[in-house]
Amino acid sequence: MPDKLDDVARLAGVSAATVSRALRGVRGVAEGTRARVLAAAAELGYAVSPAASSLATGRTGTVGVIVPYVDRWYFSRIISGVERVLREAGISLLLYNLGDDAGRARFFAEFPLRRRVDAVLVLSLPLSEAERAQLLSLGAPLVTVGTEEPGADSVGIDDHGAAVTAMRHLVQLGHREIGFIGETAPVPLGFTTPLRRLAAYREVYHAVCREDGRAPEAGFETGGGFTVSGGEQAMGTLLGLPRRPSAVFAASDEMAFGALRALRRAGLRVPHDVSVLGFDDHDLAGLLELSTVAQPVAELGEHAGRLLLARLSDGKILTSPAILRTRLVLRGSTAPPTTR
């Protein structure tokens, strides 16, 4: 039984319509009246009912954020960034965590954000034709981070370019035998980021092999599931190979951490025996002296938030995706190979 618009109206001595207008700052209300209304509202501690307002206007003051995982470093940072800018704009954030293919299927089947949000943000998730259509059918702006979708604004980094730079660094150090830890097909949830990093790896590694006049080692491409333990296993696989790589490029720092562990357990020293290069610049990368590709994760989130706000107010969609800069951070895990 909280107060309603009418209570405020009565207290301020005006009609409900005027209160509504005054509270929302709509023009057409005399200054004095507005002040009186505001005072009355403050006195009663009144706040409009989002449900009623939403029913009347069709707007919800809420955006839906769809994430594959919330408890991974990358995603939690992005969410944090988005949340910050939305909160400052007075917009609430409805969080939907997919988790896996089943969760994803359920989400799109039930589609809980129907009529619940004014805009949607999708993180790192390439959409199927049907999913995109479904999302767009909401008639709400769609923004993506890390993927590009027709009809959506997007922010991201140049995954391919960044990975090529990373690989070139290893090559320049003198490495010719470079392993990769990423994701093996089928990639969970259809992520394309791992594929882009893999493609960059291949491009550089295969070029090196061509120069050396030999075939690329097929076994050098391993999957680590973007987790520490996955990375550890993948490194184990790499170490079991007849021809061992002298350097490893991991598509995420967390996998690189796992690789470091596997190496340590195997009694190998980094970077003396094997160089390791990661991707992300995770909080702990510095701690572990991991060389890596830094990407501005918090900024990605904030930028996405700003894109949402922009789309919410003017609705225009940017023609090209915003690409944020990455940079190679060299620490102690990469060095020239030692001849063995």
- Contact residues for DNA, defined by CB under 7 A: 1, 3-6, 13-18, 20-21, 23-24, 26-33, 46, 48-49, 52-53, 55-57
On whether the CB atoms of residues 63 and 121 are closer than 8 A, the answer is yes
Q: In the set 26, 39, 47, 323, which binds a second copy (CB under 8 A)? A: 47
User: How many residues bind a second copy, per CB under 8 A?
Assistant: 50
Report the distance separating Cα 132 and Cα 136, nearest Å.
6
Which span (28-36, 55-63, 164-172, 315-323) binds a second copy, by CB under 8 A?
55-63
Counting contacts by CB under 8 A, is residue 26 touching a second copy? no
Between 6 and 283, name the residue whose CB sits nearer to DNA: 6
Which span (6-14, 50-58, 201-209, 302-310) binds a second copy, by CB under 8 A?
50-58
Long-range contacts of 98-107 (CB under 8 A, 24+ apart): 98/66, 98/67, 98/68, 98/69, 98/125, 98/189, 99/68, 99/69, 100/188, 100/189, 101/188, 101/189, 104/189, 107/66
Look at residues 135, 200, 199 and name the one whose alpha carbon lies nearest to residue 167.
200
Counting contacts by CB under 8 A, is residue 92 touching a second copy? yes
Partner whose footprint covers residue 193, from a second copy, DNA, none (CB < 5 to 8 Å by kind): none
Report the distance separating Cα 302 and Cα 126, nearest Å.
20
Q: In the set 2, 32, 186, 213, which binds a second copy (CB under 8 A)? A: 2
Map the footprint of a second copy across residues 215-254, applying CB under 8 A. 228, 254
List all residues 6 or more positions away from 95 whose beta carbon is below 8 Å from its beta carbon.
65, 67, 70, 79
Please report how close the Cβ of residue 80 comes to DNA at its closest, in angstroms: 30
Counting contacts by CB under 8 A, is residue 31 touching a second copy? no
Please report how close the Cβ of residue 329 comes to a second copy at its closest, in angstroms: 16
On whether the CB atoms of residues 308 and 143 are closer than 8 A, the answer is yes
